[in-house]
Amino acid sequence: MPIRGNYWMPVDKRFRGTKIYANAQIGPKEVKAFCGIDREGEKLVEAAVRRLGFSARAYDRLLKVARTIADLVEEGDINPAHLSESIQYRMMDRYY
């Protein structure tokens, strides 16, 4: 998926009225509001958490990275492909 357009535009709109200006600043309490996923995505993340032993903190990080990936390809919703890519990055982080 090519990166195009202005990455910051949807991020600015999403965080308007908050002190957050980047996905990395989303706190644990805001993850549900800003990083919503569908049922298929929930199943994928639950399987990753169960099989790979991710913590609650790692779960939040997965969602925030998936949110960033979705923003970069200018998609409003986080889909399973974004979550899969996020999981792969997390696995690389563990081993390298």
8-95: which CATH architecture?
Orthogonal Bundle (1.10)
Domain ranges for the chain, please list them.
8-95
Amino acid at 66: A
Reported pTM: 0.84
Q: String of b and e for 55-77 (b: at least 16 CB within 10 Å)?
A: eeebbbbbbbbbbbbbbeeeeee
**Ordered per-residue pLDDT tens for the chain, 96 residues:** 454 555 556 677 888 899 988 899 999 999 999 999 999 999 999 999 999 999 889 999 999 999 999 988 888 899 999 999 999 998 887 766
